[in-house]
Amino acid sequence: MSFLPKSPKARRRLTLVAAIAPVLALAVGLALWGLGDSVSFFYTPSQAEAARPPVGRSIQLGGLVAHGSVIKHPDGAVEFTVQDQRALDKVVFRGDLPDLFREGQGIVAVGAFRQDGVFEAKRVLAKHDERYMPREVSKALKEQGEWRGEGQAPSYGAQPTAAGGV
């Protein structure tokens, strides 16, 4: 009793599928393995505190720049604190900041945490003014009860807890 089909045409198709499947599986496996190091996860400070990404792992850290936290050094380094509602992280960046960067503004920093818990950014992206919102989004937020008015930024009442060595 043979597992192969009796039809020669069906046997050819089965042989072709049997030859292509391992090659395709190998190609997909190599592609996923190659992309593994280039994937960058996005975290807010409280998510980063909970997830504790490994030191040196490239991630994106997003949140609001805390008021009074920006310190510019003569060597071109800039230190600031990124916060969300529950946590904050100290960020160090060397380079030119975007024009939209300011305290209270939302940013996304691309980089990695150092051994001492400070986030070392390689790139800083500033978000545009949050007063603009598409009609569909504002309608959905109103329906969910999340609407905060005409472009009002969220107010974080209590100061977040320290995280990441801050």
- pLDDT tens for the 166 residues of the chain, in order: 577 788 889 889 989 999 999 999 999 999 888 877 666 788 889 899 998 999 988 899 988 899 999 999 999 999 999 998 889 999 999 999 998 898 988 888 999 999 999 999 999 998 665 555 556 555 655 665 545 555 455 554 445 555 444 4
Backbone angles phi, psi at 58, to 5 degrees: -70, 125
The pair of structure tokens assigned to 151 is 């472009």
Both 46 and 27 in one domain: the answer is no
Looking from the CA of 85 toward its CB, the CA atoms found within 13 Å total: 3
List the domain range (segments joined by +) for residue 30: 1-38
CATH of the domain at 98: 2.40.50.140
CA dist 37 and 86 (Å) reads 29
Residue 20 sits in the same domain as residue 63: no
26 and 70 share one domain: no
Q: List the beta strands (DSSP E) in 10-163.
A: 41-43, 59-65, 71-72, 77-83, 87-94, 106-113, 119-126, 161-162
- Please give the tally of structural domains in the chain: 2
Q: Is residue 153 part of a domain?
A: no
* Same domain membership, residue 138 and residue 64: yes
